[in-house]
Amino acid sequence: MIGALLRQPIDAVYRRMLDRLHDAGFTDVVAAHFAVLRYPGPAGRRPSELAEDAGMSNQAMNYLLGQLERLDYVTRVEDPTDRRSKRVQLTKRGVAAAKTIRSTVARIEAELEQQLGTKEFRELQRLLVQLNETRFVRGGADRGVRGPPRHGGSVSSSGGKRDR
Amino acid sequence: MIGALLRQPIDAVYRRMLDRLHDAGFTDVVAAHFAVLRYPGPAGRRPSELAEDAGMSNQAMNYLLGQLERLDYVTRVEDPTDRRSKRVQLTKRGVAAAKTIRSTVARIEAELEQQLGTKEFRELQRLLVQLNETRFVRGGADRGVRGPPRHGGSVSSSGGKRDR
DNA sequence: GCCGTGTTGTAAAGTGGCTTTATCACTGAG
DNA sequence: CTCAGTGATAAAGCCACTTTACAACACGGC
């Protein structure tokens, strides 16, 4: 059941973050954008670094950056030391959104601390950190679950049969 | 950081499950199928119940069931008491896959227990259960993060500008 | 018995976050 | 100066979903 135990809280976290962003006026942010906006944020790094971090291809990251740039959350400026590279920075609007995210995390944690009790909450945090340091989690930390099929053939399209 | 602390382990869990399934010969299972195969499995329930459970639309669930039926993991049989309804059951192959999943979970938990120590591992389990019982997680437990946009306009397609 | 309303399953089409594939620009080692 | 490698990104495709639409059935009220 370890799967469900982890999945349900993380879903709740993302749902809350998205709601708060929307309520704060950032109505054009979607869940996928978290790959860029979440801690530690772009902070002048290159698109390929962000892609690596998010466990996705450069192209996918670039697609997100294209959206976020058009929506005025980030800018891509050329790297003076390497003319192939770009550096991604949060815009003013991007910084404001990131601040909303951070404050939402703080609020969630405060809420959990209140509901679990301070002692239990801190213990949970400590154990989660430990869990993340295990070889199980660390090992093969690249490429998310939704990677390329790479195994069996695809299953083609469209639901069940119609035989009435 | 609560987000990353939960997300990385769950990703590792799903990655491991998929790998083990593929190695066990179920090469045609993809991550999306877990919505059906994971605990407690279809077990004679209706498609709409499974959809509710997985936090997705009936149609999405039906799409998955169509694939899984074609791949011989489940069957849909008519409910004798309600001729609108279907009942979803695992096939022999489906049962075998579910067994692989359960054994993988057991193996993962054993591995974590070994790496964290029995006492810490049990404590982590206990706290995760508690976490899942909080109002924060329980409240609004329907509809996953990837729900309909329902807010701001879409952002149209295709990465950055080409201006070279 | 019919009739309107709700429920169930599912087909069909559209959406969007990804992938793979393919270029182009540039860098750095030889 | 090559040339293999790296970075960004365009283009096309995939597929797990969504919304929309509808047909079959259940069921309570008349």
- Report pLDDT digits (tens) over A108-147: 999 999 999 999 999 999 999 999 999 999 876 555 565 5
Of B18, B123, B158, the CB nearest to A123: B123
Give the model's pLDDT for residue A1: 82
Q: Say how far apart CA A24 and CA B158 lie, in whole Å.
A: 27
The beta-carbon neighbor of B124 closest among A131, A141, A160 is A131
Q: Is the pLDDT of residue B143 over 60?
A: no
What sign does the dihedral A146-A99-B4-B128 (CA atoms) show?
Answer: negative
CA distance A33 to A20: 14
Residue from A136, A6, A132 nearest B112 by CA: A136
Query: What digits encode the pLDDT tens for the residues A16-57?
Result: 999 999 999 999 999 999 999 998 899 999 999 999 999 999
Question: Tell me: the pLDDT tens digits for B54-87?
Answer: 999 999 999 999 999 999 999 999 999 999 999 9
**8 Å CB contact of B131 and A116:** yes
User: Would the Cβ of B68 be found within 7 angstroms of any atom in strand C?
Assistant: no
Interface A-B: count of C-beta contacts within 8 A = 207
ω into residue A9 within 30 of 0, thus cis?
no
Overall average pLDDT of the B102-120 stretch: 96
Smallest CA–C1' separation from B31, nucleotide: D16
Interchain pair B13, A6: CB under 8 A:
yes
Cα four-point dihedral sign B49, B126, A35, A154: negative
Compare all CA atoms of chain B with the CA of A149 and give the residue at the minimum distance.
Answer: B30
Evaluate if the CB of A140 falls below 7 Å from strand C.
Answer: no
Could you read off the pLDDT of A55-82 as tens digits, one per residue?
A: 999 999 999 999 999 999 999 999 999 9
Strand C contact at CB of residue A62, distance < 7 A: no
- For chain A, percent of residues with pLDDT exceeding 90: 80
Tell me the three state secondary structure of residue A43.
coil
Considering CB atoms only, which of B16, B31, B137 is closest to A9? B137
The model's pTM is 0.84
Across the interface, do A3 and B13 touch by the CB < 8 Å criterion? Answer: yes
pLDDT in the model for residue A154: 43
Residues 6+ apart with CB under 8 A from B16: A136, B104, B108
